[in-house]
Each structure stands twice: as C-alpha cells, then as structure tokens.
Structure 1
Amino acid sequence: MPQLNPSPWFFVMLMSWLTFSLIIQPKLLSLIHTNPPSNKTSTTTKTTPWTWPWT
C-alpha cells in the first residue's frame, strides 16, 4: 500500500511547515492591525431581568 510509505510525503510536509514557519508566519506577524482591541472602550449595557410567566 503506497499510503504507508512516508518517504515522499514526509518531505512535502516538512517543506510546507518550514515554508510556513520561516517565510509566511513572520510576514503575517509583522502586519499592523488597524483597529487593535486594546484601544476600544468598553461599554456597559443595562440589562433587565426577564420575568418568566410560569414562575
């Protein structure tokens, strides 16, 4: 069964992970977020309790 032979697929997996880790990931991490969550102000909403008709 060819699925059990890891020699061609292991190299493909290893190269794809190295490409992601060394090339793509640093480019993605260097992007500046236009709206970071830390700059947002928290708004509190007033909630009213629900009155259940069967209680």
Structure 2
Amino acid sequence: MPQLNPTPWFPIMLLSWLTFALIIQPKLLPFTYTNTPSNKLTPTIHIHSWNWPWT
C-alpha cells in the first residue's frame, strides 16, 4: 500500500513545516490588528413590554 510508505511524504511534510516555521510565521507574528479592542461599556438596553388591550 503506497499510503503507508513514508518516503515520499516525509520530506514534503518536513519542507512544508519548515516553510511555515521559518518564512510564514515570522511574517504573521508582528501583525497588529487595526481595530484594537476598547474597554467601553455597552449601554444597557431596556425592553418595554407591550400593553395588550385584551389582557
């Protein structure tokens, strides 16, 4: 069964892992979000019930 032979797949996995670890990850780590979270309190919403005429 060719799926169990790790010879062709191990170098591909190793190369993709090294690509992520050495090239992609350092470019993603210094990324800062443009929308910084704020500590504003959300306003309290008051829900008023309806006055039904038949109750």
- TM-score interval, normalised by the smaller of the two chains: 0.5 to 0.7
Q: For the pair shown, which has the larger CA radius of gyration, 1 or 2?
A: 2
In structure 1, the residue matched to 2:4 is: 4
Q: CA deviation at 1:36?
A: 1.8
Summarize the Cα distance change of 1:2–1:41 in structure 2 as closer, same or farther, 3 Å threshold: same
Aligned to 1:41: 40
Report the secondary structure of 1:7's partner residue.
coil
Q: Which runs of 5+ in 2 are unaligned?
A: 48-55
Percent identity reads: 62
After the TM superposition, list the runs of 4 or more consecutive aligned residues in structure 1 that deviate by more than 3 angstroms: none
Unaligned residue ranges in structure 1 (runs of 5+): 49-55
Which is helix-richer, 1 or 2? 1
Seen in structure 2, the aligned counterparts of structure 1 residues 47 and 9 have a Cα distance that, compared at 3 Å, is farther
What RMSD, in angstroms, separates the aligned Cα atoms of the two structures? 2.0
**Amino acid of the structure 2 residue aligned with 1:7:** T
How many residues are matched? Answer: 48
Residue type of the partner of 1:42?
L
- TM norm structure 2: 0.66
Secondary structure of the equivalent of 1:26? helix
